[in-house]
Amino acid sequence: MTEALIHTTAENSGDTVAASGAQQPAPAAVPGSAAGALSEAGIQDAVHAIADRSRQAARRMSMANRAWKDRALRAVGAALQESTQAILAANAKDVAAGKANGTSAALLDRLTLTEARIAGLVAALENLANLPDPVGNVVRGQTLPNGLRLRQVNVPMGVVAAIYEARPNVTVDIAGLALKSGNAVILRGGSAAEATNGVLVRVLREALESVGLPADAVQTVDQYGRAGANALMRARGRVDVLIPRGGRDLIQTVVNNSAVPVIETGEGNVHIFIDESAGEDMAVEILLNAKTQRPSVCNTVETLLVHSGSTVFPAVATALAKAGVRLHVDERIRAALPASIESSPATDQDWGTEYMDLDLAVAMVDSLDEAVKHIRTWTTGHTEAILTNNLANAERFIAEVDSAAVIVNASTRFTDGGELGLGAEVGISTQKLHARGPMGLTELTTTKWIVQGEGQVRG
């Protein structure tokens, strides 16, 4: 293959890197027992070596044009399809081990791959290939009075690391987004999905090599266990950004211990507020979708707030109970429930819990102000929704609720990179830096200032 791995935009270096002429670094190890044979210092050296190979791969990826990256994404998709049975066999081992270890139903659901879910990953890769390349996009520009021409353009982050748990689909999502945005990625997928991720990383690396891109654009440190994750968090200068994705404990561990800059993704204590003007049919359909379609994910509703003037709650509660949802309610909601529906008293712990299961905390409020106050007290900043036929209430809710996603008259399950047209997502950022909400391609880039002159000097 003779096509040059080079963008034609002026912000790239003048080096031309041909796929056929570049020496491939040694491939990274796949998950195994490497951690047991090495000291902590040895593991740190091994992880640093992986990061150094990633940096070399990132330099080549940063110069890859869109056609080449899209070809790689489609090659990965085809390889996943061809390897479906091998992936499912490895996943079955992980799921069986999870059941034997008492893993919760919610985590088992996240861990499990099916033919349909693999097909969904392939479709997401195709969607990514069809999206514009964010690299080289001009954010802003101008010509100064002294004649200097300025442009601020999107460029790849470089080496992106991700630490996540029991989510083998994330392996493909993050790798696909990293590749399309011109980055290299280092993955730590956790012991619960080690067999599945081992196959997925192998498939990804072989697909990259098949189109002449560096296999080391996708690497893993799973083989080094928790010590490998700790070394990855300390690899400042070798890793450009670290993204944790998982439960509160994992995220806080990374945020509090990482020397590498972190983009914090958050848990989803998600709220829906039914105001007094909301219609019954819409409320029932949205609550069923938001709670029961896939309870184990972060955009599932966990708390329902009902205006005391609403008449739709009995129908909503009946539909939820019929679907198997367990209600944790305050005293006023208990009084409003049909007699046939069982419930348990809600406590402060319920208002702050991301159940990730068929449980729902329910409270009654007397006003929009009271609903917003409750959300501000207990939110994790992920997603909040209002169901209303009152435009003024909708506008107030949008203005006064400070979360990464605010939804009017739709399911909270739409807070998802694929659903919002991003192709896929690295995670849902709940912080307020450059990335907030579903993190897609643009969120895996940073910017570079290009200043072009004709001999100007500063006076």
Q: What is the mean pLDDT of residues 231-243?
A: 96
Query: d(Cα 393, Cα 378) in Å, to the nearest integer?
Result: 21
pLDDT, tens digit, 9 for 90 and up, residues 46-76: 999 999 999 999 999 999 999 999 999 999 9
Query: Residue 331 — pLDDT band, cuts 50, 70, 90?
Result: very high
The model's pLDDT over 255-268, given as tens digits with 9 standing for 90+, comes to 999 999 998 887 78
Q: What is the mean pLDDT of residues 322-335?
A: 96
Neighbouring C-alpha atoms within 13 Å toward the C-beta of 55: 13
Fold observed for domain 34-265+439-450: Aldehyde Dehydrogenase; Chain A, domain 1 (3.40.605)
Percent of the chain with pLDDT over 70: 92
Is domain 270-418 given the CATH code 3.40.50.300 in the classification? no
**pLDDT at position 251:** 86
Taking residues 27-44, report their average pLDDT.
66
Confidence band (pLDDT; 50, 70, 90) for 32? very low
Tell me: the pLDDT tens digits for 77-125?
Answer: 999 999 999 999 999 999 999 999 998 887 898 899 999 999 999 999 9
- Is residue 442's pLDDT more than 50? yes
Per-residue pLDDT of 272-285, as tens digits, reads 999 999 999 999 99
pLDDT tens digits, one per residue of 292-316: 999 988 899 999 999 999 999 999 9
Decide: helix, strand or coil at residue 85.
helix
- pLDDT tens per residue across span 206-221: 999 999 999 999 999 9
Taking residues 416-439, report their average pLDDT.
Answer: 81
Predicted pLDDT at 78: 98
Q: Where are the domains of the chain?
A: 34-265+439-450, 270-418
Residue 16's pLDDT band (cuts 50, 70, 90): very low
Res 35: pLDDT? 60
pLDDT at position 34 is 59
Answer yes or no: is pLDDT of 27 > 70. Answer: no
pLDDT at 36: 62
